[in-house]
Amino acid sequence: MDQESLFPNCQDVLLSTELSRNRINHVQSLFGFKATQRILCFALYVLGAKRSAIGRSLNIPTETAKSMIKAVLKNGPNALQDRRSASPLPEKNVQEHIPITLKDHADSLEIHFGGNGPPLSLSWNDPLQVKIVLLSLVHSGLLPKKVAAKALGITPSHMSTLTKRFREQGAVSLFDQRQGQKQDYRVSPEVKGELIQQFTLDVVISGQTSSQKMSSELKQRCGLEVPARTIRHHMNLLGLTGIKKSLPQLVAAVKKTSSTCSS
């Protein structure tokens, strides 16, 4: 790059008082009064203004302007910030954020934070704990809303509502305030029968299943729209989760016995 290009021709630059006021107010809202004052002071110094003129322009003593300029030249960009603020200016070579991933199992949700550390395992038997953890991650900007919504089996719009309530009211907003029967009103005995049947098919044929898989299969096979979280709830209520491993073994043992008797 031509070094001459580093020297701007400010003589031909038209400065708008209104734009300047709006931009300074915006920068001040982001960085604070002191940091904005230091930025303006150093910028005027770089553009060739005398220190005394800088002091008059910013309505500060000349010695104060000199101190600000000296601090930036000695300590670099961090000297521009207000030392009373909580966090310093970002450094270069900051470690890249490793995305969080979720793995849905029939009886638990695993949260992987990257690296070689063990995942955080949350039981679906405690849906409130799962919601609190996922919403905390969303609120902190560590987990996208759509990923949390998919894990909870809810729509993105419902997720946005939960996130807003969580931000404003905390974990208490997640308690169900409705009275009486809360879970079974959308699941008829016929639907429960299909759920049990699909669970049995999956476990006997492949030896495993998941609420997401069953939700998709019930929609394809029966045209039933049953959310994954509802399936998880009723699998626990019906005791299906506890027999997921023993059922294939029992079926195999019965087949073996029947084969022996018939021969």
Which amino acid is it at 190?
A: E
Mean pLDDT of the chain: 80
What are the counts of helices (DSSP H) followed by strands (DSSP E) for the chain? 11, 3
Name the band, by pLDDT with cuts 50, 70 and 90, for residue 134: very high
pLDDT at 194 over 70: yes
Sorted by where each begins, the domain ranges of the chain are 17-80, 101-174, 185-255
pLDDT at 95 over 50: no
- Taking each helix axis from N to C end, the angle separating 62-75 and 33-46, rounded to the nearest 10 degrees, works out to 90
User: Is 209 exposed, middle or buried, given 0-12, 13-18 or 19+ CB atoms closer than 10 A?
Assistant: buried
Q: Residue 133 has what pLDDT?
A: 92
Q: Residue 180 has what pLDDT?
A: 44
The CATH number of the domain covering residues in 101-174: 1.10.10
pLDDT at 9 over 60: yes
Which of the listed ranges 21-25, 27-31, 147-151, 176-180 does the model predict with the highest average pLDDT?
Answer: 147-151
**Beta strand extents in the chain (DSSP E only):** 101-104, 108-112, 120-123
Mean pLDDT, to the nearest integer, of 245-252? 84
